[in-house]
Structure 1
Amino acid sequence: MTAEVDTLVCYLCVDGADAAISFYRRAFGAVEDERWTGEDGRVGHARITVEGAPVYLADEHPELGLRGPRAAGGTPVSLMLTVADADAVFEAALAAGATAERPVADHPYGMRTGWLRDPFGHRWGISSRVAEVSGEELRKRVGDSYTIT
């Protein structure tokens, strides 16, 4: 059992935690740290590590009001994963079964980012820093599109 306490961790609910853990291993190089499987075979809690960050996940438990994004009709939450090579991780995720929403591209704020949906309905931004951009330079790059404070 993990002894440390994480201050803020995303906790994903999925339909098929075993398959999700396998997907996150293939797509993002996740390491499984812990898994609690109930008598009914559902994963009640699992902890994986992705790029050094903890991620908790569990199977759906509708009797407790816990449903994944597909059962809920989508998700309002996006996860942002910063990696050394966004292109390579994005392609690995697609090969593992993710669906592309927006391809990886350079953005004015100095990041190279693409957006995808994992097979369980969660939305992920895969991003790499490609340039350091000062606030002044960013304001020049976006022009009147945004007010940056």
Structure 2
Amino acid sequence: MTSSIRFIPRLIVPDPDRASAFYHDVLGAEEVFRAPLGDDGRPSVVEHRIGGSPFRVSPAVSSWGWLSPSDLGGSAVLLEIEVDDPDAVGERMVEHGSEVLVPIENRPYGKRSGRIRDPFGHLWIITGDLR
């Protein structure tokens, strides 16, 4: 193995601009790169960073095999984010159109966490220290 490997998740969404604004507003994601897709001006990829963790969003393009959770009937991936205040992050996500699947509560495994589906169909575990 080489130490130059980076793992960068890419979330496929119907509207990368809307998703980028959502992730900025609710998670504080910083946009670090944007590449346009053809003449329509729609980005083919937008890279973000939350803390030291990068992730990307791209539009659903079925001919490329890039399908969003709504195209697939749901998401097969859970994204977990550890934050200082899971309740505040969860509330912001809901205020911006997310759906609570499992309420954020103290859990017997020593974390405060819950599960949320964002407006683009991606599933998030929001976790932090017990209160």
Q: TM-score scaled to structure 2, two decimals?
A: 0.90
Matched, 1:106 2:90: no
Work out the CA distance in 1 between the residues paired with 2:43 and 2:78.
23
Question: How many Å apart are 1:52 and its aligned residue?
Answer: 2.7
Can you list the C-alpha shifts for 1:44-100, whole angstroms capped at 9, x where unaligned? 111001233101111111111111101111111000000011001111111111111
SS of match in other structure, 2:119: coil
Provide the aligned C-alpha RMSD in A.
Answer: 1.5
Kindly, what percent of the aligned residue pairs are identical? 33
What's 2:123 paired with? 123
- Provide the C-alpha distance between the structure 1 equivalents of 2:5 and 2:130, rounded to a whole number of angstroms: 29
The alpha-carbon distance between structure 1 residues 56 and 6, as it changes in their structure 2 partners (threshold 3 A), is farther
* Structure 1 residue ranges without an equivalent (≥5): 132-149
Judged with a 3 Å threshold, the aligned counterparts in structure 2 of structure 1 residues 6 and 100 are, in CA distance, closer, same or farther, namely: farther
Secondary structure of the 1:97 match is: coil
Counterpart of 1:13 in structure 2 is 12
- Number of the residue aligned with 1:139: none
How far the C-alpha of 1:36 sits from its partner, in A, is 0.7
Equivalent residue for 2:73? 73
User: What is the deviation of 1:130?
Assistant: 2.5
TM-fit CA distance, 1:6: 6.1
Aligned counterparts of 1:60 and 1:40: Cα–Cα separation in 2: 14
Equivalence map 1:1-149=2 (5 Å) = 7-38=6-37, 39-130=39-130
Q: 1:9-36: CA deviations, max 9, x gaps?
A: 2111100000000010111111111111
How far off is 1:42 after superposition? 2.5
